[in-house]
Structure 1
Amino acid sequence: MNTYQSGFAAVIGRPNVGKSTLINALVGQKIAIMSDKPQTTRSRILCILTQEDAQIIFLDTPGVHKPKHKLGGHMAKATEGALHGVDVVVFVVDATEKPGAGERYILKRLENVRVPVVLAVNKIDLLPRARTLPIIADYARRYDFAGIVPISAREEENLAGLLSEIKKHLPEGPRYYPEDMVTDQPKRLIIAELVREKALELTRDEIPHAVAVDIEEIAARPKGDVYVRAAIYVERESQKGIVIGAHGALLRTIGARARADIETLLGAKVYLDLWVKTRKDWRNRESALRQFGLSGDD
């Protein structure tokens, strides 16, 4: 008789190795923010994949790094917490880079993990197979992985192989969440992340991580469309001008791109009312972290 499997998988790795891209590809919906900037994911995000034979609850965690401010401290706690109470850990690495200090730091921490660890070697689409094999062999010498799976999250290559490996380590169990549920995150927080993603994309290196988004209002309108008022927060007045751009051009572009994703999420036409505000040193203020849903407090 076929049995149903369900369990929790923590997805970890140093910043910018493609964890969020992988999660979104596996779940089939844009939930985790994607950017080429490190440390983009700021809090632990629960993403749910339901199949006929299994339900996998993925914990998408912030990239492992040494914290430099209170926000960084909360990010580190979110990652540490994700390693406890899960059934399997998926360690995502970049196939184009040899193991460095970040990977060695994570491998050291994994020595205390008592569940299977699966190595997902990502970005194999960026180099020939012959160059991937030495990287895989290097990792295999460093840790006794339960499985090693080469993948491309961006091209969705060999994701079925990764899922198959993860399922090997899941216990029998019930569906913890409804079949159509793909995240435990409220829509308000997902919308904020979609706006922040576009702001990060378009400001590039000018405002690395001093951007937060607060959704001040979401309201349904009589004709079925949705009004969303969002505030983009930065830490300095000079950063405010960068986000707005000449004659408001950059802010309009951020709004247009974010609105398209929000409309896909909500399945409705959206009027996005976007503002830029300054909150000095918000990354070190607990009240601001709570306001932006980044404090990690339940």
Structure 2
Amino acid sequence: MTTHNTKSGKSGGPDDPSDPNGGETRCGFVAVIGAPNAGKSTLVNLLVGAKVSIVTHKVQTTRTRVMGIAMKGQAQIVFIDTPGIFQPKRRLDRAMVGAAWMGVDEADQTVFLIDASVGLNAENQAILDGLVQRKAKAVLALNKIDLVKREKLLELAATLNESGAFTDTFMISALKGYGAQDLLDHLAANVSPGPWMFPEDQLSDMPQMLLAAEVTREKLFLNVHQELPYATTVETELWEPTNDGGVKIEQTIYVARDSQKAIILGKGGQRVKVIGKSAREELVELLGCPVHLYLFVKVRERWQDDPARYRVWNLDFNA
């Protein structure tokens, strides 16, 4: 096991021209796993150099596997941002956790991201046990190191490495960028020689219609409190070009009950207007063109038991 100390300063980003592997093209898949709110999406977005996965302060925001594509010299690293691994209670929970472990099984490398300020709690212990049971080797990344004293970080790293599941350990802050370049360099150096899987300028495998729905769902999480966002889903129903060189997008926010619909609409429809305005502004930035976004809120009882919803997210309905 090798521990990599954090360098002062931020990551140089995936477009750093240095190439640790010479001129030979290399490519590999890296699964990023961890408990909900460990910072997986923040880390993937940082390493890719663009927003490919939504981020909120709420746990279990990511519902499906999202691929973010980073370039490091001649190495293409395809990051799989997985849903947080937790003790599932519902069908959707089981499908999300199943998708996370499938990411591990399919990847060439795995990064286990742990919130260092939380430490080895029950959720992280369960994930560690899962790695050990699979006899999977992973890279340990201790995140949010700026919130923890050095002595506790070293103690936590030593405890985790007793499992024998880790080949290397990195101390990082995904939010501030500390240590991320070292992690990217290591992953790039360990992908196998071979052709790239995606064009050099592609950042994600997510279809634009699904990405747009995810952006709106992120704004839902940020503007609606308590448990309600978990009872909602967003689907892009229409995507068509407009005369001003932009795109018209119609999306439906599905809820399970009429009372939930009223909360999302807000008094006089004000809350859904705020959600729509925020989503539209981000989509303009992401798509680089005018966006005409129209949101509708509808009740669809038991949508979490509809197999069609799971196909949209590439989740296993029977997990």
- Consecutive unaligned residues of structure 1, counting only runs of 5 or more, are none
1:256 and 2:277 equivalent?
yes
- Contact map agreement 2:137 2:165 (CA 8 A) in 1: no
1:190 and 2:211 equivalent?
yes
Q: What residue in structure 1 maps to residue 302 of structure 2?
A: 281
1:171 and 2:189 equivalent?
no
After TM superposition, list the pairs within 5 Å mapping 1:30-41 onto structure 2: 30-41=51-62
Give CA deviations for 1:130-183 in whole Å, capped at 9, x if unaligned: 443322222223334111101111111111011122234321222111001111
Q: Give the one of 13, 29, 49 matched to 2:34.
A: 13
After TM superposition, list the pairs within 5 Å mapping 1:138-217 onto structure 2: 138-217=159-238
Q: Give the one of 114, 119, 123 matched to 1:102.
A: 123
Shift in alpha-carbon separation, 1:231–1:145, aligned structure 2, 3 A = same
1:84 and 2:121 equivalent?
no
Q: What residue in structure 2 maps to residue 70 of structure 1?
A: 91
Q: CA deviation at 1:2?
A: 4.2
Residue range with higher mean Cα deviation, 261-270 or 140-149: 140-149
- Contact map agreement 1:195 1:254 (CA 8 A) in 2: yes
Q: TM-score, normalised by structure 2?
A: 0.87
Shift in alpha-carbon separation, 1:143–1:101, aligned structure 2, 3 A = farther
Q: CA deviation at 1:234?
A: 1.2
Shift in alpha-carbon separation, 1:128–1:79, aligned structure 2, 3 A = same
For residues 209 and 184 of structure 2, what CA distance do their matches in structure 1 show? 29
Aligned residue identity for 2:284:
E
Give CA deviations for 1:36-85 in whole Å, capped at 9, x if unaligned: 11111111111111232310011111111232222222212211211123
Q: What residue in structure 2 maps to residue 293 of structure 1?
A: 313
Aligned residue identity for 1:151:
I
For residues 303 and 125 of structure 2, what CA distance do their matches in structure 1 show? 31
Residue range with higher mean Cα deviation, 68-77 or 249-258: 68-77
Shift in alpha-carbon separation, 1:154–1:176, aligned structure 2, 3 A = same
For residues 172 and 281 of structure 1, what CA distance do their matches in structure 2 show? 47
After TM superposition, list the pairs within 5 Å mapping 1:114-125 onto structure 2: 116-125=137-146
Aligned residue identity for 1:287:
A
Give CA deviations for 1:199-230 in whole Å, capped at 9, x if unaligned: 01111214141111010101111121221111
Q: CA deviation at 1:243?
A: 1.0
Shift in alpha-carbon separation, 1:175–1:115, aligned structure 2, 3 A = farther
> Percent of counterpart pairs with the same letter?
37
Aligned residue identity for 1:145:
F
Q: What residue in structure 1 maps to residue 8 of structure 2?
A: none
- Contact map agreement 1:282 1:289 (CA 8 A) in 2: no
Equivalent residues, number: 296
Aligned residue identity for 2:142:
V
Q: What residue in structure 1 maps to residue 9 of structure 2?
A: none
Q: For 1:204, what is the secondary structure of its paired residue?
A: coil
- Contact map agreement 2:76 2:188 (CA 8 A) in 1: no
